[in-house]
Amino acid sequence: MARGTSIIDRPRFIARHEDTAPEGAVSWCVWGARNKPPTAHDQKSKIKNQKSRPAFTLAESMIAVVILALSVTAIASVLSASRQYGAVTDDVVTSQELARQLMEEITAKPFADPDGRSSLGPEAGETTRLLFDNVDDYNGYADTQLRDSGRKKFDRNVTVEYRATRNGAAAATGDFVVVNVTVKGPDGRQVVLSQLLTCSGTRRS
């Protein structure tokens, strides 16, 4: 073995001369060199490395909180807008249905009054809608329909106009009549359904 060479400090050198060492000596020395107990310096280095690991600062944490809050607010706004849009759409559909129902009731009535009278509005004795006997009796009619357990109110109004010609101006009497049914929803939006009626039939306009 070369002078000044330690078995523990130079395990590779010993490994190359394993055939000249006593049985078991080289393997013991190599194991001891590779598995020696940690020194105080090693422990201090380990602690220092652990302390030097990067961590979140207070500023970074605050920025993360702000970003999270903005994200939650944006999502909540989108969901709220979606619900509001859905509610408005439902109200419009309800207004359309209420207008259609009343229009179908009106167009089912005779064009001319069975009594031979053609004045707009209900005649004497026709105090309720059930007593209306022709189309022009509905002129000026109004009612209120409640939906959603009474929380939503829909106002309906009807106007009827006689016309001498299809595209003519309003007249006292005529062979044509224009019926307008207007429904105002809870938010003030209005749905208007119009129909042109004639003595011989009906035509949507």
Q: Closest Cα to residue 108, out of 201, 172, 173, 194?
A: 201
Q: What is the structure's pLDDT at 12?
A: 47
Give the residue numbers spanning the domain of 27.
11-51
DSSP-based helix, strand, coil % in the chain, nearest 5: 40, 20, 40
125 has a pLDDT exceeding 60:
yes
Is 101 found in the same domain as 28? Answer: no
Is 91 found in the same domain as 168? Answer: yes
In a domain, 69, yes or no: no
Is 180 found in the same domain as 109? Answer: yes
132 has a pLDDT exceeding 80:
yes
In a domain, 73, yes or no: no
Q: Closest Cα to residue 141, out of 152, 130, 153?
A: 130
- Helix/strand/coil for 2: coil
Residue 63: pLDDT band with limits 50, 70, 90: confident
Q: One-letter amino acid identity for 71?
A: S
In a domain, 71, yes or no: no
Q: What is the structure's pLDDT at 154?
A: 97
Residue 96: pLDDT band with limits 50, 70, 90: very high
CA distance 15 to 21: 9
In a domain, 141, yes or no: yes
CA distance 179 to 196: 6
- Which two three-digit tokens encode residue 9? 């400090």
In a domain, 97, yes or no: yes
Phi-psi region of 118 (alpha: psi -120 to 50; beta: other; left: phi over 0): alpha
pTM metric for this prediction: 0.57
Is 90 found in the same domain as 44? Answer: no
Q: What is the structure's pLDDT at 60?
A: 76
Average pLDDT over residues 114-128: 83
User: How many CB atoms within 10 Å of residue 14?
Assistant: 22
- Domains held by the chain: number: 2
